[in-house]
């Protein structure tokens, strides 16, 4: 898998270089220079769609907070007195601001680091434990959220296809690329449906736990940390709340729609104003192409080629389209690098805390 990721990364880099050479680096730099400093506004503005996405995750996490709060009850001491029972988890609340930071880290890992598509989700679970200690419940929300994201991407891509077909009916550009994307979308549709059915009605993680015990042994660290039955139960519980799932989906879809402002605004700065429908079409189909090429680290080359192809279909010249792709890449770097640095700072702080606790615990054990 690592070799495949390496090879796909090299191929993506070569594609990226080829596109830049074809359009001409000096002309691209001149086009970006004309757009000027307002391009930097795209970095803080990205917080808005990301906040909507984080709110969708927060909707799924809400029952965990309630469960931990209601775990506070009354206990009885040895003399029969009534004592307040401590909460099951000390940390039990994740604010929207905290989840926004975690979402920024998750996105930065997925877009800037050479990891598989689940790399950001794994780190997101780890970071969320700083506020909510029930790892299994948090993991269930991330799994369900990923499936909801997949549904949102299908809906968003479908909207983009419809809008681009409408645009192309007024031009002489062929519809062949659109029919190809539509066919790919329909052919891949059974995949999320099958995943949903397995997660909703099956015992997927309980089976994975059984395989892990056979493969690694019952005392392996991975096996001991995996509670397949509980994870399946948490996922079934979430799927049993369709209204909550619909709310999460609505927040995510709103985030995708707001995210098209980046394309619309960048095209205006580049001197090629586009309609909202054209911006949605370009953004939606580019997102679909990027997620389909998840093996390419950061979607390097694939994202740029997709932006160029779909922007061209929407009537944007090659030079402007590649400039738009470079702006998107610039925003990813300027937004993602600080998020990655903050993540490393938190990890280092946690490591120092563990080391201090270990250092304090060592003398106590020696004295005893």
Please give the pLDDT value at position 264.
Answer: 93
pTM given for the model: 0.82
Whole-angstrom Cα distance, residue 143 to residue 135?
12
CA gap 91, 181 in Å, rounded: 45
β-strand 82-84 against 74-76: which pairing, if any?
antiparallel
Distance of alpha carbon 188 from alpha carbon 249, whole angstroms: 20
3-state secondary structure of 274: coil
Q: Tokens 């250092």 map to which residue?
A: 359
d(CA 270, CA 275): 14
Unique residue bearing structure tokens 């096996």: 223
What are the structure tokens assigned to 262, written together? 């980046």
Cα torsion angle, 165, 169, 170, 171, sign: positive
Burial of 242: CB neighbours in 10 Å, binned 0-12, 13-18, 19+: exposed
Convert the pLDDT of each residue in 275-312 to its tens digit. Answer: 898 899 889 888 888 777 666 777 777 888 888 888 88
Query: Could you give the CA distance from residue 327 to residue 333 in angstroms, rounded to a whole number?
Result: 10
Which alpha helices (DSSP H) does the chain contain, by range? 2-23, 25-35, 42-45, 47-70, 96-112, 119-128, 135-168, 176-188, 190-201, 204-216, 221-225, 228-239, 242-259, 261-269, 276-292, 302-313, 318-367
* CB-CB neighbours of 254 under 10 Å: 17
CA dihedral 113, 118, 121, 127 (to 10 degrees): -60
What backbone torsions phi and psi does residue 274 show, to the nearest 5 degrees? -125, 155
Q: For position 2, what pLDDT does the model report?
A: 63
CA 202 to chain centroid:
25
Q: Are 253 and 149 in contact (CB under 8 A)?
A: no
d(CA 197, CA 78): 50
Per-residue confidence (pLDDT) for residue 180, from 0 to 100: 63
Tokens of 189: 């549709």
Report yes or no: 146 and 269 within 8 Å, Cβ to Cβ.
no
- Residues 15 and 69: their CA atoms lie apart, in Å, by 53
Report how many helices (DSSP H) and strands (DSSP E) the chain contains, helices first. 17, 2
Residues of the chain below pLDDT 50 = 69-91
Q: Is the CB of residue 299 less than 8 Å from the CB of residue 331?
A: no
Backbone torsions φ then ψ of 132, nearest 5 degrees: -125, 115
**CB neighbours of 79 closer than 8 A, spacing ≥ 6?**
none
């Amino acid at each position: 898998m690592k070799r495949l990721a390496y090879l796909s990364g090299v191929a993506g880099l070569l594609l990226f270089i080829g596109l830049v050479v074809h359009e001409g680096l000096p002309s691209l730099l001149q086009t970006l220079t004309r757009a000027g400093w307002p391009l930097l506004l795209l970095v803080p503005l990205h917080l808005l769609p990301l906040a909507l996405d984080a709110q969708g995750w927060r909707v799924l996490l809400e029952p965990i907070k309630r469960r931990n709060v209601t775990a506070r009850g009354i206990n009885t001491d040895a003399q029969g007195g009534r004592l307040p029972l401590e909460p099951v988890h000390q940390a039990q609340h994740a604010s929207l601001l905290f989840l926004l930071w975690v979402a920024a880290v998750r996105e930065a890992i997925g877009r800037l680091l050479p990891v598989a598509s689940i790399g950001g989700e794994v780190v997101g679970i780890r970071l969320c434990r700083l506020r909510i200690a029930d790892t299994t419940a948090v993991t269930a929300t991330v799994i369900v959220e990923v499936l909801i994201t997949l549904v949102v991407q299908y809906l968003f891509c479908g909207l983009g296809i419809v809008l681009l077909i409408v645009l192309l009916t007024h031009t002489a550009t062929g519809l062949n690329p659109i029919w190809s994307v539509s066919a790919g979308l329909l052919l891949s549709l059974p995949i999320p449906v099958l995943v949903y059915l397995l997660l909703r009605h099956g015992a997927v993680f309980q089976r994975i736990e059984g395989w892990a015990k056979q493969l690694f042994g019952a005392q392996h660290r991975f096996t001991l940390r995996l509670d397949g039955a509980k994870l399946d139960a948490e996922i079934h519980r979430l799927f049993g709340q369709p209204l909550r799932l619909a709310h999460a989906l609505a927040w995510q879809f709103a985030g995708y729609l707001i995210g098209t402002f980046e394309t619309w605004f960048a095209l205006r700065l580049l001197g090629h104003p586009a309609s909202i429908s054209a911006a949605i079409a370009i953004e939606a189909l580019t997102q679909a192409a990027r997620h389909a090429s998840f093996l390419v680290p950061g979607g390097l080359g694939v994202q740029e080629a997709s932006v160029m192809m779909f922007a061209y279909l929407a009537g944007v010249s090659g030079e402007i389209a590649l400039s738009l792709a470079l702006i998107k890449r610039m925003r990813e770097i300027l937004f993602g690098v600080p998020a990655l640095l903050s993540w490393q700072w938190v990890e280092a702080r946690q490591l120092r805390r563990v080391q201090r606790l270990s250092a304090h615990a060592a003398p106590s054990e020696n004295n005893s």
